Amino acid sequence: MSLVPRFALRVALAAAALAAAALTAAALTAAGCSSAPSGPAILSWQLADGRDCFTAGVTAVEVRAARSLATQPLAAPHCTDGIPPASFTVTDAPGDGTLYLDGVDSLGTDLYHGQLSLDANPPGTGETRLVTLYAAAAE
């Protein structure tokens, strides 16, 4: 085999490797930028059993981006702050995923649960999202 065809083969292989690397980098960059931007989420909530906050014993509604109660809440407003027609704004809601709302008593006992899909209800739209909280004992 002469020197020219070997050189041409090496050039072609190097070009193919560069093209593959560029495609991989573009795919990784696009995947990293695919999450929706965070923003304010305007929330209202109601207790599924029709009780008011006082009767149900709920003093605060903790809003989290993770299901675990061990995670730090994004916000923990008074329960009455989100009962319609009132609403509460979570200023730093993630752009996608789920918001978990937990109605807790003054000792931090979890009494009610609810959740809101941010994929279907993205923050930053200015719309108030109503979340129904269900009694933890009923789950």
Indicate if 106 and 120 belong to the same structural domain.
Answer: yes
Q: Which residue range(s) make up the domain with 91?
A: 39-138
CB 43 within 8 A of CB 52: no
Mean pLDDT across 78-95: 95
Q: How far apart are CA 115 and CA 111, in angstroms?
A: 14
Query: For the segment 38-74, what is each residue's pLDDT rounded down to a tens digit?
Result: 899 999 999 999 999 999 999 999 999 999 989 999 9
CATH number of the CATH domain containing 92: 2.60.40
The pTM for the full model equals 0.73
The encoded tokens of residue 9 equal 């083969």
